[in-house]
Structure 1
Amino acid sequence: MNAFNEISKSTAAFFVQAGASFGVSFLGAIGGIYFLPLDPWQRLFLGMTVLFLVASSFTLAKVIRDQQEASTIRVRLDEARMEKLLAEHNPFSAA
């Protein structure tokens, strides 16, 4: 098993909670826009704004996750290289 995958996995309950909270907040925002006493073009503007906010939030979360994974992999590669150098190093050999 890969130690990184074991560490980074979240529980099913956390996944369900995250999905439910997203759904409730998104439906709340859409419901609020629908029931506001506004003209149709104002509702469409607010709806478009909410959709762009959701899309940019997913993009930001993905970028942060990708950067974190890249730094973790980079650190693990550096550690592996250092272990290889230490394993190959013999302090008693003539230089």
Structure 2
Amino acid sequence: MRTNLTSKKDRQESAKKLLETNRRHMAKEAKRCGKIEKLKVLTGGFYTRALRCSSSSSRTPTDRSSNNVSLSTFRFLGEQEGNAVPRRLESLQEDVRHQIDK
């Protein structure tokens, strides 16, 4: 209702001022967005590195447990081989004696 009381010229002036205010605000925001884009470019490498490090650190406990299993397996195999060596030597020496006796 109040707009009906003002003249057309006053309404146009008000609209022009509002338009100019909005343009200044848009320019200010565009400048701010440009700065943010530059920061994204500058910090992008850090961001990807942080993602890579966080994913590798979450895998570390799993890798460690599988490495522990492998280590215990190889230790067990080493013990078995250590126990088998004297029997194998004895068997080979017996074969050599058998061949010499023939």
Q: Give the alignment's TM-score, normalised by structure 1.
A: 0.40
**Higher RCO (C-alpha under 8 Å, 6+ residues apart):** 1
Q: Give the alignment's TM-score, normalised by structure 2.
A: 0.37
Q: Which has the higher helix share?
A: 2
